[in-house]
Structure formats: C-alpha cells, structure tokens
Structure 1
C-alpha cells in the first residue's frame, strides 16, 4: 500500500494514520525522494476508509530541519541547477497543496524544531499540537534563500504581519511564542505530543465524515481561495532565489558550519 522507504514510516492505529519523517540523525531533513513519498503516503491514507485523520510527526528530537542541504549543494554544482531548483519548488508546492486539498484533517505533531520547509509542513496542517520544547522558524533569508512556500501558508494561518516578521528576522520562535501567535494550537509535554495528537484525531472522527470534509473545503477553498496562486508565485520566487550568488554562498556556509559572507 505504501511506498517502502527508511526515511518515511507510515502506521495506522485506531482510525488515524501517522506519517513519520524518519531521518533523526539528520534532523529529519527532507530529501527529494521524501517529498514524493509524502505525497503518496498522504494519498494512500486519504483513500484508506478506516483512517479518519492523518498525523505527521518526526522521529527523534526534531520535526524537520527543512530541505536536505547536501542535495542543495549537489544541485548547485550540477550543469543545470535552475532545472533542479524549479523542480524542487514545484514538487514541494504539490505536497503542501495536496495536504490542503484532501478532505481528511491533517494534524502536525511537532516534536522538535520545524525549520523552513519543516515550518511549511506545519502551516499546511489543519491542527498543530507541539511539544513544549518545539521551535519553529523560516531561516531561509539568513542563507541567501526565500521561504516562498512557507510564507503564504503562515500568512494564511496567522496573518501577513507575522509571516513578514518570521521571514525577515529568520528567528526561531519557541513553543510559547508560536502558541501565543496561533501557529501552534496546543502545547503538550515532550513525551505526550503524539498521544495528544491521537486524541485530537479522535475528536475529529466524532464528526460526520461528510461534514468534516465540507468544513475543510470551506476553510481551504473558500477562505483560502487565493492561496493556490500565492503558492505558485512563492514556488517561482523560491526557485529564482536559489540561482543567486547569495544562495550559493549561503548553502556553502551551511555545509562548512560558518556564517555566510555577503557581498
């Protein structure tokens, strides 16, 4: 039923499907293959009748550190990096759009840092339960890049002002601050995040399936009717930014563990 992968694990328990980002030694950084596998896992759980809600979480101490930096560097050094950047941005856009299109609730169980693309996954979820030690941020600008997909999602959830604050400062918000501004909906002790997400999934399952489906469509298709266009534009901006000298320096600095040197 599910595409086999060591980096993505899928479990079904008591009416909820859980997708686990399973690269704990790398902060659950997202490889290209993982993005495709996430889309397939979400679609499979959507078609599974016994699954009433989907939980996304990370293995170990992180939710997701964002896109895999090693793959970024490989693309940067390739003969046609522009094609890679465009494809990466389009694929990730397809993932977050799919998260919002399917009419089953998606719950992010944020068990640790959620950075850049990881923050976008959180903002694409319908409900967010976070650990008391979780953090979230879009640090792309600090590495010469643009959070073109995270920004529209964050703005949709909590407003353009907070999205601008997060994008322009690149600062990581702690759990209390993310909860205060509404990006996290609930906080739970570290060892109870998934358990609380399961309780929320059961609450969702108490509603009539048709009513839940229409409710999610109301939020994402009616209130968020311009979001698809914003995400498409954001994908173009993210891909364009990665072709710049600033992005090249930012990625190199990340790999070398040093501050970037901007021209």
Structure 2
C-alpha cells in the first residue's frame, strides 16, 4: 500500500507506521488523518500483524500535532475544517478497539496531538533529544483528542496537571522519570530499540498478548472481582486455541514455539 503522508511497512509480524510530513514536523491535516485511518484499520484487521511501531520521518519531530497553518488557511477561507469524514485524531486516539500492542518511537518533538498519539500507544521509546507536552492552552485550545484524560491516568496526577495547565513540554529524561516513557536512547538507536521491544513481544503468543492487553484495559476502572468475571470469556478463548497447546509442548520439547495467534 502506498500513501503520500504516511509510510506503512510490514515485516516479520511487525508493522511500522511513519508519519511522513517532515517539512511540517509531521503535523497532521485532514488528508493525513484519512490515510492513517486506512493504515490503522488494516493493521488491526491483518492477522499476520502482531505489533506496530509508530514514529515520524526526519529527526526534528515525532508529530507536532494538528497542522495549525492548514487549519488557519481553511478557516480563513470559510472551508470545512474537518467535516464528517475526519476520523479521530490519528485514528488511534478514540473509538479504536485494537488489542494488539502499539509502540511509539518518539524521534523528536511530540506536542499536542503528537503527545496524544503517544498516550494512545502501549510502550514508548524516546530519543534523548525528544520533548513532549500538550501546549494547547498556549494557542487557545485544549487537548481534546484524549490528552487531558490519558495524561492524568498515566502519570502522577499533580505532575499531569502541571503539564496540562502550563502547556510546558518536558525533556525526554524527565518524561522517563515521571513514567511517561519506558526508555530513552540516543537518536541513532531509537528504531533498533523499538524493534527490540517489538521482537520481544512477537516471541510471545500473539493471542496471549492480545488477551493480556484486553484484560488490562477492561479492568482499569472496575473492582478486581469484576475484572475476574470479565476474564471468563478470555480464558475460554485461550483454552480453545492452538497457542495454548503449542506453548507447553514447545517448552517440553526444548524448541522455539510456532505461534499462530489462533
């Protein structure tokens, strides 16, 4: 599949999605959102794709959020800024039920919608020059693509409020310290590190990984007992799977398991 504003590659059960507007710091406009909709829905629905890595082209920015220049041009001309065909920001920030892991490889600035994309991912690796934040209040906006909600759930509340109410960006190592980032590496090691995370995940049963992510998200805001009840269906799916048989057999035979995700 070929796109103008996104690069989409598949190899060894890993999809790499690259935001491809480096001249605009990978800021997103309507056309980019529409391409991302196709890409993410293809990843979600392809049984051979088990993990995705999301990154940005170039070394300046992961994603600078909404393309405010295009926004200003279209609103000044009285044009339809989004319209009904505009999907949620980057597609993955809302109404995207995907139990497959997504890794963010943050290669520079992740601001506004860029950080909201990061927050929608499961694991985050950042280059040491990356900066992350939600500066929307500084331009008369608010983080409406999940940033205000997810940030306060993923890092300590007071730290999140400090970032949200000032709009300040934090450096990569500070983002790691507060738990926003899993790992910080030199820029030239970013993609190899993200692929290492992906490879370690693909060595696990893809079905087990999917069920684990489902269980975590289902149980975030319910009691432990209710979470156990929600696991009943997942347990049945696991017990009926090829992977459930293959894992112990491969261990007993001292060989690498041949996962199918089914």
TM class by shorter chain equals 0.7 to 0.9
Other-structure match for 2:13:
15
Distance in 1 separating the partners of 2:204 and 2:141: 41
Does residue 1:196 correspond to 2:193, yes or no?
yes
> 1:55-134 counterparts in 2 under 5 A?
55-61=53-59, 62-79=61-78, 84=81, 91-92=88-89, 95-98=92-95, 101-134=97-130
Q: How many Å separate the matches in 1 of 2:214 and 2:65?
A: 27
What is aligned with 2:165?
Answer: 168
Q: 1:191 to 1:9 in 2, by over 3 A?
A: same
Kindly report structure 1 stretches of 4+ aligned residues shifted beyond 6 Å: none
After superposition, the C-alpha distances for 1:198-251 in whole angstroms (9 at most, x for unaligned) are 1101111122122111111122232157xxxxxxxxxxxxxxxxxxxxxxxxxx
Matched residues, number = 220
Partners of 2:22 and 2:63 in 1: how far apart?
A: 9
Please give the alpha-carbon distance, in whole angstroms, between the structure 2 residues aligned to 1:85 and 1:142. 22
Alpha-carbon distance between aligned partners in 1 of 2:24 and 2:78, rounded to the nearest angstrom: 27
| Higher share of residues assigned helix | 1
Using a 3 Å threshold, how does the CA distance of structure 1 residues 89 and 146 change in structure 2: closer, same or farther? farther
Q: Contact conserved, 2:33 with 2:90, CA < 8 A, in 1?
A: no
Q: Secondary structure at the match of 1:129?
A: strand
Whether the aligned pair in 2 keeps the contact of 1:35 and 1:95 (CA below 8 Å) is: no
In structure 1, the residue matched to 2:37 is 39
Secondary structure of 1:130's counterpart equals: strand
Q: Which runs of 5+ in 2 are unaligned?
A: 223-262
Q: In the alignment, is the contact (CA less than 8 A) between 1:132 and 1:188 conserved in 2?
A: yes
Name the structure, 1 or 2, with higher relative contact order (CA <8 Å, separation 6+): 1
Instruction: Provide the secondary structure at the position in 2 that maps to 1:187.
Output: strand
Task: Tell me which residue corresponds to 1:228.
Answer: none
Is structure 2 residue 137 aligned with structure 1 residue 138? no
**1:154 maps to 2:123:** no
For residues 224 and 122 of structure 1, do their structure 2 counterparts lie closer, same or farther at Cα, with a shift above 3 Å needed?
Answer: farther
Q: Distance in 2 between matches of 1:129 and 1:116?
A: 18
Q: CA deviation at 1:85?
A: 6.1
Equivalent-residue separation in structure 2 for 1:130 and 1:219 (angstroms): 23
Deviation at 1:77, TM superposition (A): 2.1
Q: Deviations over 1:103-159 (max 9, x none)?
A: 110000001000000000001000001101111011110111111221112122224
Q: Which position in structure 2 is the counterpart of 1:235? A: none
CA pair 75-153 structure 1, distance change in 2 beyond 3 A: farther
Determine the C-alpha separation between the residues in 1 that align with 2:205 and 2:72: 47
Find the residue that maps to 1:91 and give its secondary structure: coil
